Amino acid sequence: MICKKCDTTLPEGSLICPTCGEKVALTEQKEKIKAAKEKTLEIELAQLQKEYDEIVERTEIEAREIENR
């Protein structure tokens, strides 16, 4: 995957860009949710929202770990 903010190539499944600090997984998930809303894919939307909450949690944990480095 590529960071949309600074174009750094990141390993698949990255949560936070090490170069600019962008929360890449959250940004990607937001876009998926937006696309599902536009197509009114209710089932997919519910699943994406659930995944989003999980990514928020994981990103917060990773952000804390980066701070402690």
- Residues lying near Zn ion in the complex (CB under 5 A) are found at 3, 5-6, 8, 17, 19-20, 22
Structure tokens, 41: 């894919």
Closest distance to Zn ion from the beta carbon of 9 (Å): 10
Decide whether 14 or 36 has the Cβ nearer to Zn ion: 14
Decide whether 22 or 25 has the Cβ nearer to Zn ion: 22
CB 61 within 8 A of CB 18: no
Closest distance to Zn ion from the beta carbon of 56 (Å): 18
Decide whether 3 or 36 has the Cβ nearer to Zn ion: 3
Closest distance to Zn ion from the beta carbon of 61 (Å): 19
Structure tokens, 69: 């480095």
Q: Find the length of the chain.
A: 69
For residue 17, CA distances in Å to 28, 31, 42, 58 come to 12, 17, 30, 14
